[in-house]
């Protein structure tokens, strides 16, 4: 036991607070909001872990990180060992430490949370991962096993694909990732804003995989540039993780007015193409003084906080249920509120009203009230008659969700799909075609980075046994 504190002393320690950039300052720039812990704070927080025997936190982690072990090494200030454990279990720890919903996963299971506050596992994961990034020369060198001679194609360079690629490379297989966009990271780069996940973190995590021998070919759209059939001829196994697809339309009048964006388009312009945050970026974006974002998930929060940073005086979340029903992370909601985002709750969009010149002028809405729970268990919103009103806006962003992307599956008729067009895969990612595995949003239809990573890890294990 590396921990020099007794149980009583450990239990007496209170949970650390994440230092944040001041809300007034940060709501006008794209700098990372959470600043990260210092060594002293991190070690102290790691000592709050009581190293309980049944390790419920590990069960709460979709990629099964050996949490008590990496915390124990951190508590002993053995950072190389802590990093070795963490990176061994998780291909993208600096990403997970920033974007995972720990409060519903590892930290929700932490025994310290039953009577007080759980250990800040997410903050510590980020701390150790960032330390590893800053101190590559101090890391324990891991020896790759001899090459197996087997080749695996990974479709999509997002969280699921990167995780699977890392696991497969570590098992000695030759891995090629095919990415449709011109850059790596998938949703980590085009979807998650800089202020939550700086893009250089993706670059470093990806370069770690490349150093392990993973090849990445961008600008390849599987289903268009190459077909699944061609990949199966060239590779011994294929893992499909091509992500979320087409935006779901609102199907309300005015959706094609100038100034109406899907969340995907709005975020891709700003995140991937740097519109509005790099003065030299040639890709434009309509910023808007008043911006209404429709939806209540993390994507909606990312859009509304981005709109604020692009200069919106009034940035609003319009959501048809109440705040308690919002699927967004508690931290995102808190940060958005601190940054001056308005929450227009129990409100559903009816129409986007335009100017004579075809620009967005307002979002016509209707008040809702919560009725009995629906099939998802959430209380179903019911319209209040005669409650229509207009929210003035120049930009409306639709962040209600995405549908399955048909590009790959359209050219692979043997691949079994569900009724929404998502690929059917078992708990190991195996699809209806032997040797073809799938995971992430293309299977789940819209979930989180960490669930996609869990899929990648399990599929890699299954591919590994399939190949040996």
Partner 1 sequence: MYEILENVILAPNLHRLTVKAPRVANARKPGQFVIVRADRGDERIPLTIGDADPAAGTITLFIQAIGASTLKIVSIPVGGALRDVAGPLGQPTHIENWGRVACVGGGVGTAVLFPLARALAEAGNQVTTIIGGRSEQYIILADELAAFSAEVLITTEDGSRGRKGFVTHALADLIADPARAPRVVLAVGPVPMMRAVAELTRPHGIETVVSLNPIMIDGTGMCGGCRVVVGGESKFACVDGPEFDGHLVDFAGLSDRLTTYRSFEERARHAATECRLAKEVANG
Q: What does the binding site for partner 1 look like in residue numbers (CB under 8 A)?
A: 180-182, 190, 218-221, 224-226, 244-247, 249, 255-256, 258-259, 261-262, 264-265, 268-269, 273-274, 278, 280-284, 286, 358, 405-407
Closer by beta carbon to partner 1, 157 or else 220: 220
- Closest approach, Cβ 132 to partner 1, in A, equals 27
* Exposure string over 334-351, b if 16+ CB within 10 A, otherwise e: ebbeebbbbbbbbbbbbb
Closer by beta carbon to partner 1, 3 or else 264: 264
- Closest approach, Cβ 354 to partner 1, in A, equals 10
- Closest approach, Cβ 219 to partner 1, in A, equals 4
Q: What distance in Å separates the CA atoms of residue 94 and residue 78, rounded to the nearest whole number? A: 18
Closer by beta carbon to partner 1, 108 or else 447: 447
Map residue 243 onto helix, strand or coil. Answer: coil
- Closest approach, Cβ 225 to partner 1, in A, equals 5
| 186 CB-contact burial (10 Å; exposed 0-12 / middle 13-18 / buried 19+) | buried
Closer by beta carbon to partner 1, 121 or else 220: 220
Q: Which of 57, 43, 41 is nearest to 112 (CA)?
A: 57
Report residue 30 as tokens: 């794209």
- Closest approach, Cβ 160 to partner 1, in A, equals 16
The helices-and-strands tally (H runs, E runs) of the chain is 18, 14
Closer by beta carbon to partner 1, 169 or else 408: 408
- Closest approach, Cβ 184 to partner 1, in A, equals 13
* Exposure string over 397-426, b if 16+ CB within 10 A, otherwise e: bbbbbbbbbeebbebbeebebeeebbbebe
- Closest approach, Cβ 178 to partner 1, in A, equals 10
Closer by beta carbon to partner 1, 77 or else 255: 255
End-to-end Cα, the chain, rounded Å? 37
Q: Which of 275, 127, 131 is nearest to 193 (CA)?
A: 275
Residue 397 in contact with residue 263, Cβ under 8 Å?
yes
Closer by beta carbon to partner 1, 142 or else 355: 355
Residue 233 belongs to what H/E stretch? helix 228-234
| 80 CB-contact burial (10 Å; exposed 0-12 / middle 13-18 / buried 19+) | middle
């Amino acid at each position: 036991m590396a921990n020099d504190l007794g149980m009583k002393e450990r239990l007496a320690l209170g949970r650390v607070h994440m230092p944040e950039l001041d809300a007034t300052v940060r709501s006008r720039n794209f700098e990372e909001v959470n600043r990260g812990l210092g060594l002293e704070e991190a070690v102290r927080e790691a000592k709050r872990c009581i190293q309980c025997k049944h390790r419920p936190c590990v069960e709460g982690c979709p990629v099964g990180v050996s949490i008590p072990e990496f915390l124990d090494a951190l508590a002993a200030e053995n950072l190389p060992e802590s990093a070795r454990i963490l990176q061994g279990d998780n291909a993208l720890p600096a990403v997970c430490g920033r974007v995972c919903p720990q409060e519903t996963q590892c930290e929700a299971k932490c025994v310290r949370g039953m009577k007080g506050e759980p250990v800040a596992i997410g903050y510590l994961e980020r701390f150790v991962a960032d330390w590893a990034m800053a101190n590559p020369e101090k890391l324990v060198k891991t020896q790759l096993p001899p090459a197996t001679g087997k080749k695996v194609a990974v479709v999509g360079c997002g969280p699921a694909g990167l995780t699977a690629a890392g696991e497969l490379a570590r098992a000695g297989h030759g891995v090629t990732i095919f990415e449709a966009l011109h850059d790596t990271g998938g949703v980590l780069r085009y979807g998650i804003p800089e202020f939550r996940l700086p893009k250089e973190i993706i670059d470093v995590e990806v370069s770690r995989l490349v150093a392990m021998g993973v090849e990445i070919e961008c600008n390849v759209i599987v289903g268009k540039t190459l077909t699944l059939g061609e990949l199966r001829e060239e590779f011994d196994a294929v893992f499909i993780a091509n992500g979320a697809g087409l935006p779901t339309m609102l199907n309300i009048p005015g959706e094609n007015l100038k100034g109406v964006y899907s969340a995907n388009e709005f975020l891709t312009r700003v995140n991937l193409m740097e519109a509005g945050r790099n003065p030299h970026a040639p890709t434009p974006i309509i910023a808007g003084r008043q911006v209404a974002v429709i939806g209540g998930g993390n994507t909606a929060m990312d859009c509304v906080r981005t709109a604020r940073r692009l200069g919106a005086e009034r940035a609003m979340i319009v959501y048809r249920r109440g705040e308690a029903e919002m699927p967004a992370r508690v931290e995102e909601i808190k940060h958005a509120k601190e940054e001056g985002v308005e929450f227009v709750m129990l409100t559903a969009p009816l129409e986007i009203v335009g100017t004579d010149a075809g620009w967005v002028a307002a979002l016509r809405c209707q008040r809702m009230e919560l009725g009995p729970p629906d099939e998802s268990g959430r209380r179903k919103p019911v319209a209040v008659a005669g409650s229509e009103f207009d929210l003035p806006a120049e930009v409306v962003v639709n962040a209600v969700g995405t549908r399955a992307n048909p590009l790959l599956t359209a050219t692979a008729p043997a691949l079994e799909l569900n009724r929404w067009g998502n690929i059917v895969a078992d708990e190991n990612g195996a699809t209806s075609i032997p040797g073809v595995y799938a995971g992430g949003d293309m299977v789940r239809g819209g979930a989180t980075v960490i669930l996609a990573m869990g899929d990648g890890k399990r599929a890699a294990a299954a591919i590994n046994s399939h190949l040996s």
